[in-house]
Amino acid sequence: MATWQLVQYVVTGITVGSIYAIVGLGFTIIYSVTGIINFAQGEFVMLGGMTAFSLIGLGLPIPVALMLAVVLVTLVGVVFNLTAIRPAGRASSITLIIITIGGALFIRAVAGLYWGRDAVALPPFSSGASLSFLGAYIRPQSLWVIGITLVLMVVVYLLLNRTLVGKALKAAAINRRAAALVGIDARMMSLVSFALAAATGAIGGIVIAPISYASYDMGVMLGLKGFVAAAMGGLTGVWGVFLGGLGLGLAESLAAGYISSSYKDAIALIFLFAVLLIRSRRLVAGEEAAA
Amino acid sequence: MILSVDHVSVAYGKLNAVWDVSLGVGRGEIVTLIGANGAGKTTLLNAIVGLLPVKSGAVYLGERNITGRKAHKLVQLGIGYVAEGRGMFGSMSVLDNLILGAYAQHRGWTSQLGDAAWLLRREEFKRRIEHVYQLFPRLTTRESQKAGSLSGGEQQMLAIGRALMTAPKLLLLDEPSLGLAPTVAKEIFGLLNRLRGEGMAILLVEQDAVSSLKIADRGYVMEMGRIVFEGTAKHLISNDKVRQAYLGQVWRSTSETPAQEGRNQV
C-alpha cells in the first residue's frame, strides 16, 4: 500500500469530515439551546448549495451570491422557527423533533419542485491546479473547506462562550424561568439558535457544492452524517462535533479506499448505531440518577 | 407606591389560588407577606413578575400598568425577583451568573456580541458588580467557581446579587431564608435592611413570620388565597389572632414577650 494513497485518503477524509462537522455544528447549536434535534438541518445545507447555485445563475458576482445565499437560508431558519417551532409552545422534545422531520420533508419537496431532480455544481472558490503533497493531490477547494470549517468553529465557539448572547443562549437552556427573570426571552434564544444553525448549515452546503455537487435531496445523507458527527461529539460542544466530524470523515474515506467505496455510507450508519447505543444508555443512566 | 397590586385574582385553570388581593410597597420600605404553605403567596409573586397570568385586577409599577406583561420584559422596567429555590445557572460561573443579571440592560448589538470581558470594563456595569461584591464579599472569592458548587447560603447571596444586577426599583424575595443556617439568614435580613436604606422597595415572602415581621415596616397575612390581616409590622406582631395563627409556636421560644406568652398557648 503506497504512502501517497494513504495521504490521499486522509486528505479526502479531513475534507469530507470538515463538512460533516459543519453540518453537525448546526445540530449541536440547536440541541444545546433548545433540546431539539433538528432533522431539518440537512435541508439548510441543501438550501445553501442550491440557493447559491441559483444566485450565481442570475449573474451575481460569486462572493455576493454566496453571502446572499447564507443570508437567505438564515431567514428560512428564522421563518421555520417562527412558523413550525414557536406555535408548538412548550411541547415535548419528541413532538418538536417530529415537527422538524415534517419541516425537512416539506422543504425537500418544495426544493425538488423548484430546482428539479438534477444535481448541479458550483464553481470552485479559486481556480488553479491541484497541489501535490507527498504524492497525493489536494484540490484547492479542499483547502477552502478545511479553512472555512476551522474559522467557523472558532467563530461559533467564541460566540457561544465569550459573548453575552452566548451566555444567554446557555442560560435559557439551563433554566428557562431563571433566564426570564434576568430578562432573557427563551423563545428569542430558540430563534437565534435556529438562525445560527441555518447560517452554518448554508455555509456547509456552499463549500461542499463545488466538490460533490448539490441537489434537492443532498440534505438527507448529509443531515444524517452531520447528526452522527454531532452525537459523537456529545451534542453540546463545538470541538466535540469537530472531532466527531473528522473521525467520521476519516473512517469513511479509509474504508472506501481500503475496503470498497460501497461501504462508505455503511460506515456512517455503523457509527450512528454505535452512538445511539452508547448515548441512549447514558440517557437512561441520567434519568435514573435524576429519579 | 412603587408597587400597587389592585384587586388581583390568579387562577390555575378554573381553580382560583389568589382572590381579590390588594397591596402596596413604597420606596424604602420592606413589606412582608406571611401565611401558611399553600396560602397563595408564591402564586401572587409569580403573577406580579409576569410568570403567571393575572385573571382579574391590575398590577402597577409606579404609575404604569404592568398587568399581563411577560417576565423578561418586566425585568427591564425594574422588577427583581429572587424566586424560591434560587434558580441558579448551576453549570456557569458565579461571575457569569452576575453578568447575566445585567442582561436586560444590555440588549444592544454591541453589548450582545461584545466579549464579556469588555462588558466588565464598562463603568456602570463595574459599579453595579462592585456594589454586589461589597454586599456579599464572599462572592468575590468564589467568582470563577461554578454556581452549582456553592453552599446554600452562598447560592442565596448569588441569587440576590444577580437580582440586584438587574438594577431593580422593586425587589421581591420568596423565602430567602429557607434552608439556611440562622446566622446566614440573619446576614440576609441584615442586607435587606441595608437595601431599604438605599431606597429600594422590598416585598418579602417568608414562612419565618417572626423574623420577617421584625425587619418589615408593614405586613400582610394571607390565608387560602386572601389577605386576612394587614397593618404595620408592630401592629401585626401584637395582634392576638395573627400571633395565634402564625407566630405562636415560634414566638413562645423567644424571650421578647414574656408577659403575653400565656395568652397564646392553647
Q: Looking at the partner chain, which of B71, B104, B112 has a beta carbon nearest the beta carbon of A165? A: B112
Mean pLDDT of the region B28-32: 95
A165's grid cell: 448572547
Q: Closest approach of chain A CAs to the CA of B76, in angstroms? A: 7
Q: Which of A248, A222, A240 has the alpha carbon at shortest distance from A32? A: A240
pLDDT at A68 over 50: yes
Higher pLDDT pick, A157 / B248: A157
ipTM: 0.85
Q: Calculate how close chain B gets to A210, using CA atoms only, in Å.
A: 32
> Which residues from B are below 8 Å from A236, CB to CB?
none
Q: Does residue A21 contact residue A149 with C-beta atoms inside 8 Å?
A: yes
Q: What is the pTM of this model?
A: 0.86
CB contact under 8 A, B91 and A181: no
Q: How confident is the model at residue A286 (pLDDT cuts 50, 70, 90)?
A: very low
A280 falls in which pLDDT band (50, 70, 90)? Answer: low
Question: Region A163-168: what's the mean pLDDT?
Answer: 91
Q: How confident is the model at residue A265 (pLDDT cuts 50, 70, 90)?
A: confident
Query: What are the extents of the domains in chain A?
Result: 25-122+136-161+192-290
Cell of A81: 422557527
Q: How many C-alpha atoms does A227 have within 13 Å on its Cβ side?
A: 22
pLDDT at B52 exceeding the cut of 90: yes
CB A31 within 8 A of CB A240: no
Q: Is the pLDDT of residue B251 over 50?
A: no
Q: Which among B87, B105, B106 has the least Cβ separation from residue A181? A: B87
Q: Do A162 and B103 touch (CB under 8 A)?
A: no
What pLDDT sits at residue A1?
62
pLDDT of residue A155: 95
Contact call for residues A195 and A73 (beta carbons, < 8 A): no
CB contact under 8 A, A164 and B106: yes
Q: Is pLDDT of B248 > 80? A: no
Q: What is the pLDDT of residues B186-230, one digit of tens each?
A: 999 999 999 999 999 999 998 888 889 999 999 999 989 999 989
Nearest residue of A to residue B116, measured between CA atoms: A163
Cβ contact (<8 Å) for B106 and A168? no
Rounded to whole angstroms, the Cα distance separating A26 from A45 reads 10
Tell me the C-alpha distance between B89 and A176, whole Å: 10
Res. B6: pLDDT tops 80: yes
Predicted local confidence at residue B159, as pLDDT:
94
Identity of the highest mean pLDDT range in A66-80, A244-258, B214-228:
A66-80
List residues of chain B with CB under 8 Å from any CB of chain A. 49, 51, 70-73, 75-76, 81, 83, 87-92, 96, 99-101, 103-107, 111-117, 119, 162-163, 165-166
Position B214, amino acid: K
With a CB cutoff of 8 Å and minimum separation 6, the contacts of A85 are A34, A36, A96, A99, A100, A190, A194
Task: Give the model's confidence band at A288: pLDDT under 50 very low, under 70 low, under 90 confident, else very high.
Answer: very low
Mean pLDDT of chain B: 86
